[in-house]
Amino acid sequence: MEKVNEYRLFPTFGDSFGTGWRVMMDNFLRLLLVVFVLFILTAPLKGLNFELDHNDLRKFPWEWSDWNKVFGMASLGIFAAFIMIIMLLYSFLAKPVIEYGAKMIFLQAVRRTKPDFELLIKGFWENYFPIILANLMVFGLVVIGFFALIVPGIIIACRLAFTPYIVMDKKLDPIEAVELSWKLTRGHGWTIFLMGFVSFFIYITGLMILFVGIFPAVIWVKSAFASLYQSVLLEKEKPAEITVQ
């Protein structure tokens, strides 16, 4: 019998999005704050795009000789390369920590636990290397899969969708987390794929609603996936092995 203070947790498309909606409505302000912070901390450098052309130098108020043009282009090229390196390091060494922490906060909301906002940055001094290595492993496996005619990449991405939750929830090392995600998602690959596909249109709809609709859209989708992870745990793991924080 379902307890009054628990959500309906079944590993299906409808129940995941239905529970995700309830989680969003019950924790809207807290989760909105998480999404705001997530956007601020993961958005930097995304808008930078360097396209160098010698004609751009003509826009400056001074004259450029041929040598100055070469030097100017070389300097701008080095600067652009430096920014690209910073973006790459940020994407692989900082952004995953924030995103993994956010996923754990949404999982706490599903479990009706008060969200711990410190989780957004806590991974930098706790569990840092497992997070970074797990993210790199998933990224590498998905990329290899996409090189193999795309479809394997989609399958791998779906089967490893639970890896971030497992790393944060179970504190497993990257290999164990990937293996457990593959095990837990067995039989749920199509559900994850369909949820990801529908999520794209939820995001688009959110953007069309005066842009601000993207924030509720993100909250709903993230709550739905956290609900799916928790429901799969309840289905496939022994009660004694389920760690509810």
Structure tokens at 227: 């609900």
State the Cα torsion 174-180-182-188 to the nearest 10°: -130
Taken in order 17, 18, 19, 24, the sign of the CA dihedral is: positive
Residue 192 in domain:
yes
Residue 99 in domain:
yes
Contact (Cβ atoms closer than 8 angstroms) between residue 127 and residue 118:
no
Residue 58 in domain:
no
Range of the domain at 124: 13-48+88-237
pLDDT of residue 244: 41
Residue 180 in domain:
yes
**Structural domain count of the chain:** 1
Residue 67 in domain:
no
CA gap 163, 180 in Å, rounded:
8
pLDDT of residue 68: 53
Residue 62 in domain:
no
- Please report, rounded to a whole number, the percentage of residues in the chain having pLDDT higher than 90: 63
pLDDT of residue 18: 96
Low-confidence spans in the chain with pLDDT less than 70: 1-5, 43-76, 237-245
Residue 63 in domain:
no
Q: How far is CA 157 from the centre of its chain?
A: 12
pLDDT of residue 243: 44
pLDDT of residue 149: 79
Q: Over the stretch 28-38, which tens digit does the pLDDT of each residue have?
A: 999 999 999 98
Structure tokens at 15: 């129940």
- Smallest CA-to-CA distance from 162 within 100, 88, 114, 84 is with 100
pLDDT of residue 59: 52
Predicted TM-score (pTM) of the model is 0.83
Residue 165 in domain:
yes
pLDDT of residue 35: 94
